[in-house]
Structure 1
Amino acid sequence: MLEDNATSRDYRVRLFYKSKPSVPKGAVLDNMQKRTEGFAPRDGKRDSDRLDFRHPKYVTNIGGKSVGATWSIREEEIEYPGDLTPFLPALEQSWLWDDADGVVGECEHQLVVLDQTAANMRPMDRLQMIQFLVASVVEATDCDAIYWEATEQFLEPKAFVEGLNAVAAKPWKAPGAFNVRVSRVIGYGERRDDDSRDMIVDSLGLGVLGWPDFQCHFRGLDWREIQQIVYEKALDVFENGPKLQDGQAFPGINASQVWKCRFEEAILGPPRKVIDIDPGIPYCAGLRYAVTAGVYVK
Structure 2
Amino acid sequence: MHFILRFNYRREHMSQVFKQDLTDTSVRPGGIFFVELLMPEQCDMPGRDTMVEVLTKYLGPVDCFDHRRDSAGFAPQNYKVHYEDTDADIPPTLMVTNCEKIDKPVLDDFDRSQVWDCPNVDELLAECQYRVFATDMLASGLAAKERADMLVKYVDALLELYPSCKAVVFGPSRKFLSRESIENHPDKEVTRFMYYAVNVRYFSIQGTNDMMVDSVGMSTLFLPDLQYHFHGVDPNHVVFHAYNVLNYIFEHGNIIGDGETIAGLQNGEMNQDIQWKVQYEDSLIQPVREVLDINMGEYASGTR
Alignment CA distance shift 1:236-1:174 (3 Å): closer
Match of 1:144 in 2: 166
Name the structure 2 match of 1:225: 237
Q: Report the AA paired with residue 285 of structure 1.
A: S
Contact 1:38–1:55 (CA under 8 A) maintained in structure 2: yes
Deviation at 1:63, TM superposition (A): 8.1
Q: What is the TM-score of this pair, normalised by structure 1? A: 0.81
The residue that corresponds to 1:172 in the other structure is 192
Deviation at residue 280 of structure 1 after TM alignment: 2.0
2:302 pairs, out of 274, 286, 289, with 286
**Which position in structure 1 is the counterpart of 2:34?**
12
Equivalent residue in structure 1 for 2:141, among 112, 120, 129: 120
How has the CA–CA distance of structure 1 residues 116 and 183 changed in structure 2, closer, same or farther, with 3 Å as cutoff?
A: same
Query: Could you report, residue by residue, the CA deviation over 1:213-254 in whole angstroms, capped at 9, with x for unpaired residues?
Result: 111111111111111111100011111112211111233212
CA distance in 2, matches of 1:199, 1:158: 32
Aligned partners of 2:215 and 2:101: how far apart in 1? 29
Give the counterpart letter for 2:110 in structure 1: P
Mapped pair 1:200 → 2:221: no
Contact map agreement 2:171 2:197 (CA 8 A) in 1:
no
Q: Which residue of 1 aligns with 2:156?
A: 135
Aligned-partner SS, 1:167:
coil
Counterpart contact for 1:160–1:174, Cα < 8 Å? no
Query: After the TM superposition, which of the residue ranges 17-26 and 220-229 deviates more from structure 2?
Result: 17-26
Counterpart of 1:56 in structure 2 is 77
Give the corresponding residue for 1:97.
118
Paired residue secondary structure (1:215): strand
Equivalent of residue 107 in structure 1, options 122, 128, 143: 128
1:245 corresponding residue in structure 2: 257
Give matches, 1:268-283, under 5 Å. 268-281=285-298, 283=299
1:137, 1:251 → 2: CA distance?
Answer: 39
Q: CA deviation at 1:269?
A: 2.2
Report the alpha carbon displacement of residue 172 of structure 1 after superposing the two structures with TM: 3.4
| CA gap 1:173/1:55 in 2 versus in 1, 3 angstroms | closer
1:260 to 263, 277, 289: 277
Q: Decide which moves more: 109-118 or 33-42.
A: 33-42
How far apart in 1 are the matches of 2:92 and 2:199?
25
Question: 2:303 is aligned with what amino acid?
Answer: L
CA deviation after TM superposition for structure 1 residue 106, in Å: 2.3
RMSD, aligned α-carbons: 2.4
Whether 1:234 aligns to 2:255 is no
| Residue aligning to 1:33 | 56
Give TM-score, length-normalised by structure 2. 0.79
**AA paired with 1:110?**
R
- Distance in 2, matches of 1:184 and 1:62, equals 45
Q: How far is the alpha carbon of 1:29 from its aligned partner?
A: 2.4
SS for the counterpart of 2:181 is: helix
- Contact kept in structure 1, 2:203 and 2:212, CA below 8 Å: yes
The count of corresponding residues between Structure 1 and Structure 2 is 267
Secondary structure of the 1:176 match is helix
Matched-pair identity in %: 24
C-alpha separation in 1, matches of 2:123 and 2:109: 12
> Is residue 45–residue 69 contact of structure 2 (8 Å, CA) maintained in 1?
no
CA drift of 1:170 comes to: 2.7
Gaps of 5+ in 2: 1-27
- CA distance in 2 between partners of 1:171 and 1:249 (Å): 24
- Per-residue deviation at 1:19? 0.7
Partner of 1:78: 102
Q: Which amino acid aligns with 2:95?
A: S
- Asked if structure 2 preserves the Cα contact closer than 8 Å seen for 1:266 and 1:274, the reply is yes
Q: Which amino acid aligns with 1:145?
A: A
- The answer to whether the 8 Å contact 1:72/1:115 transfers is yes
Q: State how far apart, in whole Å, the 1-side matches of 2:263 and 2:191 are.
A: 28
SS of 1:21's partner is: coil
The answer to whether the 8 A contact 2:59-2:78 is kept is no
Question: What's the CA shift for 1:61?
Answer: 4.6
